[in-house]
Structure 1
């Protein structure tokens, strides 16, 4: 077990090892989904928010389910369109219900959680187009949601962070909805397994190189798509005129180096960027506030940064 890890994060890995949770890359997509569902979906209620409603909005290939979390108090509120993680393959509105409730309360914003189509049944760019459609819908119908159409952000963790970064690029390039902020929590940004952080993590952690290779295989039908900036945002030549960003990276995470690289490139291109680098945490720690104390502290930092953007 890596010594550089926070003691609580290390105990989380030890607990998972005792539970004999199989990694995604040795499972079928259906089994990988069930494993995550069994871990994250419980009968216990999450944090209370002002209101929760389920919708189905028009998407590029049929309806896209979304869940809207409204904070307590009087609006209009800022809006965060949120894309769940899970390697694009796993996860759904239910697995990330607790996280979205916490995000709603921490940021005092409406959160629109998107149940995008998943690979391998629906490979790239299906998930991205669903997420872009949801962002456009949220901006267009902000007033009906008690939200502010001029205060729209996107966010996500891991593969969801990839989608948030790609939606920001797409909104710029299509002259689409104005996105004020992008919240990128240990995001996937490139299909490049040669970075030092991949070698350092090896096969110990909540996310490994073997997992990421499998996720990319499910997401992309063609190798050439790994050079598409809407699939791998670090491939974009131009990162100018993009929203302010909060980027969270973890020391024990194969995605660490690409997250840092993207934050630096965004800043060089003129975006306001806050990089929250947690050297002794592991990928996924923000979903474990009941186990890792530092998670709540980082959530507070994230919320403060997002709120600061909305106030500008």
Structure 2
């Protein structure tokens, strides 16, 4: 891992089970690839560690525009590789590592699964994608319906995208727009969270549908009455607490070799 890439590690009170180490969640914060920090997801990471009984490694990946695409993906790949290589020293079971993130972090989590598949490496135990940014067409109905939604509207999302890829864009890549990947077969099981009032909603739900159609186990839940960014506001929205609890249930299931909850 790049020596200047900070991570924050959370450990549950639960002891190890046997000698294999604890399961782990690699978490990537949101912020349009441009803002956001470890502090912004601190409470969520604590809740994941406590209620899923796992180590959580939160990654402070580099941000645009100073570090445009593919810097954030490179950092995500490096952090995951470091976890795998150092699992025993960290008290982690290298066979039970999940990946997750919200918004831009959800995009990076999805991209990591695609990247691992392309390199012939094992998939994570689960991918938790919280209203992930997975396309750049801005064409589905929610982009119009919720163009002026609270916290982030369509113009905001487009501005963030420009900071990440530049005004001239970059060569197409499924690591940048996972929904445009030729196939999603063989990827990790997915727990996908969407908000009702969110311009990204339809893209994320199209991704959930494609995963399911291509044979990937998927649990998708849309939370009514909330908007983009709700997931990390556990002290404000009851739906945030519910959504985090649902994601923890999925983690507990996959970490004990069970199917996703129905």
Normalised to the residue count of structure 2, the TM-score between the two structures is 0.92
Q: How does 1:159-308 map to 2 (within 5 A)?
A: 159-221=104-166, 223=168, 225=170, 227-308=172-253
Q: How does 1:81-92 map to 2 (within 5 A)?
A: 81-92=26-37
Question: Offset at 1:95?
Answer: 2.3
Runs of 4+ in 1 over 4 A off after TM superposition: none
Question: Offset at 1:296?
Answer: 1.2
Q: Please list the CA deviations of residues 164-216 of structure 1 after superposition, one character each: whole Å capped at 9, or x if unmatched.
A: 00011001111235411100001100112121001111213111011101110
Partners of 1:173 and 1:248 lie apart in 2 by 25
Partners of 2:137 and 2:241 lie apart in 1 by 31
Q: Given the alignment of the two structures, is residue 68 of structure 1 paired with residue 9 of structure 2, yes or no?
A: yes
Q: Secondary structure at the match of 2:5?
A: strand
Q: Secondary structure at the match of 1:265?
A: helix
Question: Offset at 1:297?
Answer: 1.6
Moved more, 208-217 or 276-285: 276-285
Aligned 8 A contact 2:126 2:251 in 1: yes
Q: Given the alignment of the two structures, is residue 118 of structure 1 paired with residue 63 of structure 2, yes or no?
A: yes
Aligned 8 A contact 2:30 2:102 in 1: yes
Aligned 8 A contact 1:220 1:226 in 2: no
Partners of 1:106 and 1:185 lie apart in 2 by 18
Partner of 1:105: 50
Partners of 2:223 and 2:214 lie apart in 1 by 24
Question: Offset at 1:144?
Answer: 1.2
* One of 88, 96, 101 as aligned partner of 1:151: 96
* One of 22, 26, 47 as aligned partner of 1:77: 22
Change (3 A) 1:193 1:124: same
Partner of 1:136: 81
Structure 2: give runs of 5+ residues left out of the alignment: 258-262
Change (3 A) 1:182 1:310: same
Q: Secondary structure at the match of 1:307?
A: helix
Aligned 8 A contact 2:149 2:198 in 1: no
Partners of 1:86 and 1:274 lie apart in 2 by 24
Normalised to the residue count of structure 1, the TM-score between the two structures is 0.78
Alignment: residue pair count? 253
Question: Offset at 1:94?
Answer: 2.2
Aligned 8 A contact 1:99 1:287 in 2: yes
Aligned 8 A contact 1:136 1:176 in 2: no
Structure 1: give runs of 5+ residues left out of the alignment: 1-57
